[in-house]
Structure 1
Amino acid sequence: MLRNAPKFFEVAKRIVEITEDCIVVAHNSQFDYRILRTEFRRLGFEFKRKTLCTVDLAKELIPGQDSYSLGKLTRALGIPVSDRHRAAGDAMATVKLFKMLLDKDLNKTIVQDSIKSEPKYKMAPNLKTIVEELPALTGIYYMHDSYGNIIYIGKSKNIRSRVNQHFTNTNNKSKKIQLQVAAVTYETTGSELVALLKESEEIKRNKPIHNRALRRTLFTHALYSFVDENGYINLKIDKADGRKKAITTFANRQSSKSFMFKAVDDYQLCQKLTGLYNTKTSCFKYDIKECFGACVNEEDPELYNERVYKLIEKNSYENQHMAIIDRGREVDERSVLLIENGVFKGLGFFNLNYQITNIEVLENLITPMENNRDTQHIIQNYIRKNKNLKILQLKK
């Protein structure tokens, strides 16, 4: 079909003629109109038409449908369609749908309101001004309504770029934000870890209306340990359970599995005793001489457990007194997180000329924050992914 089809420049004039003084109606008109304008722009012509979207109209006039795709909508409404997914077939299906929608629009108000002189994706002038005043830096941002209430909190390595995405996206949440936002304030953090922790804490405290998804727990799976009847420490990935003590947590099962496979190699652990190889005899690595035989009781449990303890110590800060040092907001500044007896106490910033030596000094610098399962997950996950992070062991 495409091989013998005319080039766009060959039909461009005809498109201009047949759409003159007309409203372009399409199912998801934003997409079609953008394609048309892009192609005309390549020819040096500014193509502008009013548009009307049958997806938006259908959502207003026929609410509660399972899907608003053209195929499913026409089937649900009993509209006969032939030659689907071809230009003529889809166009005729859209015409029939549009006629039905016109019949349902008794007041004609929705049709009039839905006519757009400019496409939806164009950003409003006030939103452009907001974006231009934001920094392209790591930090946390707060979206406010006209009353000053916080309606959304987010974090990003590039605040300006992320807010711009909110203002140009066309999903339902972004559309609501675009309508309600009056101002955006921000706080640079330098460190992504600090931004993650502040985002988690402040969403829980402020409960912004558009942050519902992030109010839930950030992780689904966790790493647990138990000692079997032969004295070996076994490791097990399972669904996160707040009643059980976890070594570390993971955002999903896939990341937990990847971690476990790497840990087996790094610490020379047994696949069977880490839940990666379900067998009643020896594990696969034993068969290829890469396991010392804990799976068949050949290795001394004490020697095996020593390596397991190293993994646990590396991935859990339980009972530890330490400071995690990361980037600051300025070149001569660093951020610091304080962990006291395995409990996250808070975070702050210090100048490089200021010596961090003990917990008493740090307690004067930090802003106290809540220690909960989400903060533990954020910190442990960040430590796992950032191998060059500076961790300072402290003396009480």
Structure 2
Amino acid sequence: MYAIVDIETTGGFAGKSRITEIAAYIHDGEKVIDEFQTLVNPQQVVPGYITGLTGITQEMVDSAPTFSEIAEKFNSLLQDKVFVAHNVHFDYSFIKKAFEQEGYLFVNKKLCTVRLSRQVYPNQRSYSLGNLCESLKIPIENRHRAAGDAKATTILFEKILEENPDAVRNALKRNSKETTLPPNLPKQEFLALPEQPGVYYFLDEKSNVIYVGKAVNIKKRITSHFSGTSKNGRNQYIRNEVHHIDYQLTGNELVALVLESQEIKRLWPKYNRSQKYISNQWGIYIYEDREGYKRFNVSKKIKGVPPIIDFNSHADGFHYLMGVMKEFELCPKLCGIQKVTGECYDVKLGNCKGACCGEESVESYNSRLEEAIKSFDNDDRSLAILGEGRNEDEQTLIVIEKGAYLGFGFYDREQPFSSLEEAKLLIDLHKPTVEINNYLNSYINSADAKVVELK
């Protein structure tokens, strides 16, 4: 038994928007045996553009029942039915969310008539409901109203059942991805994805890159984007727009992080939010107090006053300063770590020499602080960072010249290099980003880093 459903809503994401209309046709595989139609009071404002699209006004829904009032009846109708819709994830996510808010568990099997149509009617100009119905000569009345669209979807589903019942049976198999994949993504494209580290690209119908991501396991990560009811509005929009997936293997996670950052800066995909901000807006500043002690402070950058060292966030600067404080035995209070009156808490613990309460001289404390400042200087070594390649005969190579990231590449394990100039011939040159520098600095300072100094 099937429940062929269409809904209208106040917006495109189930986490924020609400249902304004529902229609469902119950189908036994041969004919419609029951139906359900109603406007729904969303208990929120119906935007003007939604009214323009659907014709559903605020006045129409204000007098309609809430979902709470129809939930029991609608749930009984859908029990043990396969949930069918055109772009099923959209309708299913709203219905599931609405039921969850009323305390119902909703876990029906799903079928997507977009994906089924792609199998049964290949090479169509478009698989939107309107264009598909026009192409297949399916009558569609009251477009963008739940009953009209649900009725057209029902006729489409009947045609699919008649022409290729195996497509429906196969889609309902336990291991089939047809019910979870985005409506416009070819299944074979998904099945061909590697389970290796790399960077992946979501492309829209015009092959524009709309999102770039990195993964230790590309296939597993992409599956997580589309499995279940997304609680992320961005994933919902990506799901509806993605038509193809491309990828580049990187051999290891560090190179994936580096390449992802480069690609986001190069392509500027519309659904990538991270790394789309002005970096290094925080810094560590130094000043002298009335007693002559030099103090550190993590602060937002001050126009015209360069900091000793800068960071993406307050947290980055704070954690960096914590490490410097411990290494050089500086006072937590004079570093701005502890906001206390009087002596810092570390005096009694023996971790502070007492500059905060006059027990350590100005000269002694400031001398140690100056040594700490010298450690702020960037590492000016030239380094090769080695990593696992895309196959067992290959390694990755990231080159840093005098503290500056140059680029990365892949080379044969049997092709040794012994100098900076030789290493540079094995890589593609790229511009550094703040994020890349952070990734590399963190890796170089890790216990398991594979780093070779170059001359």
TM-score, normalised by the number of residues in structure 1: 0.64
Question: 3-state SS of the aligned residue for 2:334?
Answer: helix
Equivalent in the alignment of 2:254: 193
Match of 1:373 in 2: 434
Aligned to 1:151: 210
Q: Distance in 1 between matches of 2:243 and 2:265?
A: 22
State the 1:181 CA deviation.
2.6
Preserved CA contact (<8 Å) 1:249 1:381: no
User: How far did residue 274 of structure 1 move?
Assistant: 2.0
Contact in 2 for aligned 1:79/1:93 (Cα 8 Å): no
The runs of 5 or more residues in structure 1 that have no matched partner are 1-15, 30-48, 66-73, 99-105
SS where residue 193 of structure 1 aligns? Answer: helix
From 145, 154, 158, the counterpart of 1:110: 145
Structure 1's 381 and 231: CA in aligned 2 closer, same or farther, altered over 3 A?
A: farther
2:309 matched to which residue of 1? 247
Q: Cα 1:224–1:255, aligned 2, differ >3 Å: closer, same or farther?
A: closer
Cα RMSD (Å):
4.8
Corresponding residue for residue 211 of structure 1? 272
Mapped contact 2:282–2:311 kept (Cα < 8 A): yes
Q: Deviations for 1:54-77, whole angstroms, at most 9, x for unmatched residues?
A: 89x969992279xxxxxxxx9xx7
1:312 to 376, 387, 390: 376
Please say if 1:122 is aligned against 2:122. no
| Residue in structure 2 matched with residue 10 of structure 1 by the alignment | none
Residues 241/391 of structure 1: CA separation in 2 closer, same or farther (3 Å cut):
farther
- Does the 8 Å CA contact 1:383/1:389 hold for their aligned counterparts? yes
Aligned to 1:388: 448
Report the residue type matching 1:247 in the other structure: I
CA shift digits 1:194-241 (9 cap, x unpaired): 222211222222222333554324x56645253636886644323367
Higher mean C-alpha deviation, range 161-170 or range 230-239: 230-239
2:47 to 63, 66, 71: 63
CA contact 2:294–2:366 (8 Å) conserved in 1: no
Asked if 1 retains the 8 angstrom alpha-carbon contact of 2:201 and 2:209, the reply is: yes
In 2, Cα distance between the equivalents of 1:62 and 1:292? Answer: 65
1:226 equivalent in alignment to 2:291: no
Q: Residue deviations 1:59-101, cap 9 Å, x none? A: 9992279xxxxxxxx9xx766999x9xx76976999xxx9xxx
**Counterpart in 2 of 1:321?**
382
Letter in 1 for 2:144: T
- Cα offset, 1:271, TM superposition: 0.4
- Cα distance, 1:274–1:54 mapped onto 2, change above 3 Å: farther
- Distance, in Å, in 1 between the alignment partners of 2:406 and 2:39 is 54
Percent of paired sites with the same residue = 24
Give unpaired runs (5+ residues) of structure 2: 16-33, 50-57, 76-94, 96-140, 155-170, 173-177
Shift of 1:182: 2.8
Structure-2 separation of matches of 1:176 and 1:333: 38
AA partner of residue 371 (structure 1):
P
Match in the other structure for 2:19: none
SS at structure 2 position matched to 1:312: coil
Higher helix residue share: 1
User: Could you list the per-position Cα deviations for residues 317-371 of structure 1 after superposition, in whole angstroms to 9, with x for gaps in the alignment?
Assistant: 3x33333333332334332222223322212233333334322112211211113
Q: What residue in structure 2 maps to residue 174 of structure 1?
A: 235
Deviation for aligned residue 1:134: 0.8
Aligned residue pairs, count: 329
What corresponds to 1:277 in structure 2? 338
Distance in 2 (alpha carbons) for counterparts of 1:235 and 1:52: 67
Alignment counterpart, residue 300 of structure 1, candidates 350, 359, 364: 364
* Offset of residue 154 of structure 1: 1.4
Q: Distance in 2 between matches of 1:329 and 1:51?
A: 54
Partner residue in 2 for 1:138: 197
